Amino acid sequence: MAEPAAALWAADGGNLVVQADNAGFLPSLPDESFTLIYIDPPFNTGRTQRRQQTTMVRSSEGEGDRVGFQGRSYQTVRGQLHRYDDAFTDYWAFLEPRLREAWRLLAPDGTLYLHLDYREVHYAKVMLDAIFGRECFLNEIIWAYDYGARATRRWPAKHDNILVYVKDPEGYHFDSEEVDREPYMAPGLVTEAKRKKGKLPTDVWWHTIVSPTGKEKTGYPTQKPEGLLRRMVAASTRPGDWCLDFFAGSGTLGAVSAKLKRRFVCVDENPAAVDVMATRLDGKAEVHRL
């Protein structure tokens, strides 16, 4: 796959939708090509049982793969990951090499947005600290929404988690002036000018799901709302910058990027997802099936 895949993308080329296994396609892309990478991988929710034991073993100075309390060096010893009923025998063996590719592909001023749920986000945080470095962690965004089952024996889960990491903590791009504003909760306590402008969103984003009857709806089961990704793209890229989503699903990143005059590559191995993207992005991207 590598040779034909490598010929598809060029920094001065057009937008792409690619049907391919991302593990095979990503190595064909050149280093530091994308200012923003957004990924919404499978959430690994189908298991019936999962146990993981992780211990931290003190190692000699500078030899460990983690830096912990007071700068001490540690080596992580990951226990056996027991079998569960899901698409992957080992979810993290599946995800880790793809996150390493994301680090390689990010531009020096680039930002990664990793969208997960509460079941996996803490494991992903440890993994990304190891790949990017703890100093490159920028935010954990909480996307709070308004749908789903009404739990009666616990607090109902109504949010997803989005981990935000940058390639260079001193040189990443972030333009708060480009972000949509929110109304102040206590408008009487701020000036009229501030009330009119609105306030910068915090790391908790209240945004409804894609309406079942709205014009955004594609019918794809895990579709994310454009408003959610618009904030990321507006803040972390400039017009003409490249964006990448290699679990692209319904192509929301591509749709938002096109509207904001950013360039994009969307990759998914599911033929149904590529069909949805081809229709949704009609005329805005070349479609290739590898």
Token pair belonging to 167: 């390639």
CATH architecture observed for domain 2-47+86-289: 3-Layer(aba) Sandwich (3.40)
For the segment 20-40, the average pLDDT, to the nearest whole number, is: 96
> Which pLDDT score is estimated for 90?
67
Evaluate whether 129 touches 191 at the Cβ level (below 8 Å).
no
107-139: pLDDT as tens digits: 999 999 999 988 788 878 888 998 999 999 999
For the segment 7-23, the average pLDDT, to the nearest whole number, is: 90
AA identity, residue 152: T
pTM, to two decimals:
0.84
- Mean pLDDT score of the chain: 83
233-271: pLDDT as tens digits: 999 999 999 999 999 999 999 999 999 999 999 999 999
54-78: pLDDT as tens digits: 343 434 444 444 444 344 333 443 3
Outline where the chain has alpha helix (H): 2-6, 22-25, 91-105, 121-132, 192-197, 226-236, 252-259, 271-280
Residue 40 confidence (pLDDT) above 80 = yes
> Which pLDDT score is estimated for 87?
39
Residue 85 confidence (pLDDT) above 90 = no
Residue 45 confidence (pLDDT) above 50 = no
**With bands split at pLDDT 50, 70 and 90, how would you rate the model's confidence at 190?**
confident
157-171: pLDDT as tens digits: 889 999 999 999 999
Locate the domains of the chain by residue range.
Answer: 2-47+86-289, 50-83
Q: Which residues pair with 58 in a beta bridge?
A: 74
Nearest partner of 100 among 63, 66, 128, 134, judged by Cα: 128
Cβ neighbours of residue 41 under 8 Å, at least 6 residues apart?
95, 98, 114, 115, 116, 247
Q: Are strands 54-58 and 73-78 parallel, antiparallel or unpaired?
A: antiparallel
Phi-psi region of 70 (alpha: psi -120 to 50; beta: other; left: phi over 0): left
